[in-house]
């Protein structure tokens, strides 16, 4: 059951991912565009990062989701777009769902409704998320932007508690957006985006956005990974259980990976045990990174402009692979030590400046 009339529309995500991950998923190359540079813009500081082989990619979101729906159909799934689940209850044999006048009985139920977690909430297994990332984005013509890479901009003027972005799309357009944290900020991302577009800031960043072709908006949980994915024969996946990496709210690839693993488990002869095994493996592989990444997300949400500038400067000392690791929330002490072997000078400067700033904060 899929609430939208069409797969991949409306677009609620920016479509950023990593080349190695979309390759591992087997997505056709025509569905994404790789970018080799990232410009980080703080309130006054700028840094440019050049990625090596581990590049970010920007997906054609609608085409990607339609491709995935096609794979599901080819594998024998029957898809029902235009069907919104409005209520779910338990019955002696399983579950009963209401779909706007149609009633469906089922033995298993999977909640993939995103941040709304409609089914898990209706069944009383999970409350509404208490913390969310909210974003607004425009896709516009590109009138010749000077910077042909990805751009992240940070600081209180345009992105209090969050960050802004500009990505070149596979169709040669520009995707420009702003995301904030709730309840950390009550500002409106769409109002900020409108002001940003009307200001001189895009031109100062080398962007030349033209006519707006589409407006996107979305919400992603920002409160950490759920403790469980299965409650009896009710299962959650994707944003419904917080599977987006919280540092920058990156959940497309994780949701696809988890959805595939969960689907395989549900097809096993002992689905309960297989789902529990899948969850154990998934948590073992991800829980620590997610916890660290959530802590980072909370820190970023309260950073002063001065600290943003300092961080932008420091990130400029790192090599591309280190920045990729950092953005995925994977940069712990062990990774820093490993990276020291690939860019010792940068890491030493990074560590020295970190020590200086820690000393500065001591009472």
Ligand X SMILES: Cc1cc2nc3c(=O)[nH]c(=O)nc-3n(C[C@H](O)[C@H](O)[C@H](O)COP(=O)(O)OP(=O)(O)OC[C@H]3O[C@@H](n4cnc5c(N)ncnc54)[C@H](O)[C@@H]3O)c2cc1C
12 binds ligand X (CB under 6 A): yes
**In the set 113, 145, 222, 293, which binds ligand X (CB under 6 A)?**
113
Instruction: Enumerate long-range contacts of 27-33, CB under 8 Å, 24 or more apart.
Output: 27/59, 27/64, 27/67, 28/67, 30/60, 30/63, 30/170, 31/59, 31/60, 31/63, 31/64, 31/67, 31/170, 32/57, 32/58, 32/59, 32/60, 32/64, 32/170, 33/57, 33/58, 33/168, 33/169, 33/170
114 binds ligand X (CB under 6 A): yes
Nearer to ligand X, 122 or 347 (CB): 122
Of the two residues 196 and 350, which places its CB atom closer to ligand X in the complex?
A: 196
Q: How many residues bind ligand X (CB under 6 A)?
A: 35
Nearest approach in angstroms of CB 46 to ligand X is 21
Q: Tell me if 135 sits within 8 A of 101, measured CB to CB.
A: no
Who's near 243: CB < 8 A, 6+ residues apart?
225, 237, 251, 254, 255, 258, 286
Q: Which is nearer to ligand X, 11 or 205 (CB)?
A: 11
**Residue 213 in contact with residue 136, Cβ under 8 Å?**
no
Residues from 165 through 184 that contact ligand X (CB under 6 A): 177, 179
Binding mask 63-102 for ligand X (x = CB under 6 A): ---------------------xx-----------------
Binding mask 211-250 for ligand X (x = CB under 6 A): -------xxx-----------------xxx---x----xx
Smaller CB separation from ligand X, 137 or 142:
137
Q: Does position 55 bind ligand X by CB under 6 A? A: no
**Pairwise CA distance, residues 303 & 330, whole Å:** 20
Assess contact for 251 and 243: CB atoms under 8 A. Answer: yes
Residues between 298 and 317 with contacts to ligand X, criterion CB under 6 A: none
Under a CB-based contact definition with an 8 Å cutoff, are residues 223 and 131 in contact?
A: yes
CB of 216 to ligand X, least distance (A): 7
Binding site for ligand X (CB under 6 A): 1-4, 12-17, 84-85, 112-114, 116, 118, 133, 135, 137, 177, 179, 218-220, 238-240, 244, 249-253, 255
């Amino acid at each position: 059951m899929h609430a939208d009339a069409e797969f991949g529309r409306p677009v609620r995500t920016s479509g950023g991912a990593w080349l190695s991950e979309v390759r591992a998923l087997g997505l056709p190359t025509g569905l994404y565009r790789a970018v080799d540079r990232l410009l980080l813009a703080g309130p006054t500081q700028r840094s440019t990062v050049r990625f090596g082989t581990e590049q970010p990619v920007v997906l054609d979101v609608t085409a990607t989701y339609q491709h995935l729906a096609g794979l599901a159909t080819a594998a024998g799934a029957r898809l029902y777009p235009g069907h919104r689940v409005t209520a779910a209850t338990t019955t002696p044999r399983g579950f009963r769902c209401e779909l706007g006048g149609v009633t469906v009985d089922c033995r298993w139920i999977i909640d993939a409704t995103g941040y709304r977690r409609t089914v898990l909430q209706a069944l009383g297994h999970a409350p509404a998320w208490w913390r969310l990332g909210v974003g607004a984005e425009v896709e516009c013509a590109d009138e010749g932007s000077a910077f042909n890479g990805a751009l992240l901009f940070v600081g209180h003027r345009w992105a209090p508690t969050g960050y802004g972005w500009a990505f070149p799309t596979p169709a040669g357009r520009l995707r420009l957006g702003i995301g904030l944290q709730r309840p950390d900020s009550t500002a409106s991302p769409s109002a900020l985006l409108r002001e940003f577009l009307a200001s001189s800031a895009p031109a100062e960043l080398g962007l030349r956005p033209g006519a707006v072709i589409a407006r996107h908006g979305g919400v992603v949980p920002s409160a950490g990974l759920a403790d469980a994915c299965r409650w009896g024969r009710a299962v959650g996946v994707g944003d419904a259980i917080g599977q987006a990496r919280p540092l920058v709210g990156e959940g497309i690839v994780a949701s696809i990976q988890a959805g595939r693993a969960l689907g395989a488990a549900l097809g096993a002869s002992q689905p309960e045990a297989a789902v529990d095994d899948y969850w154990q493996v998934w948590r073992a592989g991800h829980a620590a990174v997610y916890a660290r990444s959530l802590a980072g997300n909370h820190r970023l949400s309260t950073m002063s402009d001065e600290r943003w500038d300092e961080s932008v400067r420091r990130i400029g000392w790192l090599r591309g692979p280190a920045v990729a690791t950092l953005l995925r929330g994977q940069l712990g002490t062990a990774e820093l030590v490993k990276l020291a072997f690939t860019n010792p000078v940068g890491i030493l400067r990074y560590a020295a400046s970190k020590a200086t700033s820690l000393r500065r904060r001591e009472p």
